[in-house]
């Protein structure tokens, strides 16, 4: 149950270890070794506590004493690593996860979390790892919302520090989100696609998402099939699941993407919540084309040689052979060259 408490994000849940556990272990080492109090937390926060060597009459005794002190430090460091000791860290020393998973939440939800932490304190610690390239800095595995709220309050963040590989970090990140069950489908799909882009193995991604191979393939297909700017504009859409996002992705092509972006630009789109935005763009994709308006094209001499129409699905061109009997055939004979010219211009 201790693990579950650490994974939860709701106010009121207790952390799995006291915030004084870290300090208590430090004091225990200091008392045993006669060393000064420790400085800032590092990957081996107690290593510097080994008391300076004192001159001894027996070289063997000196070696034995030094070895014993180091052994005791390592043992107590192991106790810390095995515990869930909670430490306080300056938020400015913490970076986000190597693979973002969460989209921007609502301002209302963020304000509620800030208020809860202001009144009750940060009940649940976040999980971080030592930064792989910046000494004294950290990276978040999970707890981004809590970190943002605590930062806004100008407080230090309570955190559990673990040495994690990239694979362990993303698995912990994904599993924590699954336990809390508040990531939407599209957030999970985008997370899965990003993990694959970062060349994580399918096995690691399956563990992180806690899903089966078939569902994961669909997640990645949607996460890569829907352009990022469209996903960001729609938002997390918490009520929209795999089936409808898959239908939406299957309907997208170059032309329909333009249709969606035109809907996104409408003022009423911005005023709607995320689920309603999805419904708005989805409806635009499945609407039957309206009746096309017929336009005419006239030659420089004023003769109306052609009529054309475009209903979004079909473009029709009709040449009036009464005025130019061979013009239609002339166009057909040059379609290949015209298409090549079109392709070249569209690729620039």
**Contact between residue 185 and residue 103 where contact means Cβ atoms under 8 Å apart:** no
pLDDT at residue 77, as a whole number: 46
Q: Which two tokens stand for residue 213?
A: 């191979």
pLDDT at residue 278, as a whole number: 96
Please provide the DSSP assignment of 157-186 as one string: EEEEE----HHHHHHHHHHHHHHHT-S-HH
- Of 88, 92, 117, 93, nearest in space to 19 by CA: 88
Q: Which two tokens stand for residue 32?
A: 């045993």
**What residues contact 211, with CB distance under 8 A and at least 6 apart?**
219
Instruction: Tell me the per-residue pLDDT of 76-120, one tens digit each, with 9 for 90 and over.
Output: 445 444 556 888 999 999 988 888 777 766 677 788 889 999 999
- For residue 113, give the H/E element and its range: helix 107-120
Asked if the model's pLDDT at residue 32 lies above 80, the reply is no
- Domain edges within the chain: 20-85, 184-287, 295-346
Instruction: Tell me the per-residue pLDDT of 325-337, one tens digit each, with 9 for 90 and over.
Output: 788 888 888 888 8
How many CA atoms within 13 Å lie on the side-chain side of 260?
25
Instruction: Tell me the per-residue pLDDT of 188-239, one tens digit each, with 9 for 90 and over.
Output: 999 999 999 999 999 999 998 888 999 999 999 999 999 999 999 999 998 9
Which residues lie across from 129 on neighbouring strands?
Answer: 139
pLDDT at residue 94, as a whole number: 93
Instruction: Tell me the per-residue pLDDT of 268-288, one tens digit each, with 9 for 90 and over.
Output: 898 899 999 999 999 988 876
Please provide the DSSP assignment of 56-75 as one string: -S-HHHHHHHHHHHHHHHHH
Calculate what percentage of the chain has a pLDDT beyond 70: 70
193/347 Cα distance (integer angstroms): 26
36/53 Cα distance (integer angstroms): 14
138/87 Cα distance (integer angstroms): 12
Residue the block writes with tokens 């979390």: 113
More confident: 90 or 52: 90
pTM: 0.57
């Amino acid at each position: 149950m201790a693990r579950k408490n650490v994974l939860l994000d709701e106010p009121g849940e207790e952390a799995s270890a006291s915030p004084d556990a870290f300090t208590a272990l430090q004091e225990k080492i200091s008392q045993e070794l006669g060393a000064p109090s420790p400085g800032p937390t590092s990957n081996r926060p107690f290593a510097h506590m080994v008391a300076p060597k004192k001159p001894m009459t027996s070289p063997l005794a000196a070696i034995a004493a030094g070895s014993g002190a180091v052994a005791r430090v390592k043992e107590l460091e192991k106790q810390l690593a095995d515990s869930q000791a909670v430490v306080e860290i300056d938020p400015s020393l913490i970076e986000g996860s190597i693979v973002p998973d969460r989209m921007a939440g609502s301002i209302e939800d963020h304000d509620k979390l800030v208020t809860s932490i202001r009144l009750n304190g940060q009940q649940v610690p976040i999980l971080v790892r030592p930064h792989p390239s910046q000494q004294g800095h950290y990276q978040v595995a999970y707890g981004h919302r809590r970190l943002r709220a605590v930062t806004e309050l100008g407080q230090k963040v309570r955190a559990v520090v673990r040495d994690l590989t990239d694979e362990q970090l993303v698995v912990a990140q994904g599993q924590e989100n699954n336990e809390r069950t508040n990531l939407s489908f599209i957030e999970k799909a985008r997370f899965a696609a990003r993990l694959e882009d970062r060349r994580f193995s399918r096995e690691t991604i399956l563990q992180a998402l806690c899903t089966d191979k078939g569902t994961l393939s669909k997640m990645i297909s949607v996460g890569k099939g829907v352009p990022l700017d469209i996903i960001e504009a729609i938002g997390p859409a918490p009520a929209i699941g795999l089936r409808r996002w898959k239908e939406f992705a299957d309907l997208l092509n170059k032309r329909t993407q333009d249709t969606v972006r035109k809907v996104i630009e409408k003022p009423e789109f911005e005023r709607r919540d995320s689920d309603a935005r999805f419904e708005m763009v989805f409806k635009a994709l499945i609407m039957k084309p309206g009746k096309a308006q017929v336009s005419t094209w006239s030659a420089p001499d004023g003769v109306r040689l052609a009529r054309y129409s475009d209903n979004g699905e079909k473009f029709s061109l009709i040449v009036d052979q009464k005025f130019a009997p061979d013009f239609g055939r002339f166009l057909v004979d040059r379609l290949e060259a015209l298409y090549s010219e079109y392709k070249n211009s569209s690729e620039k």
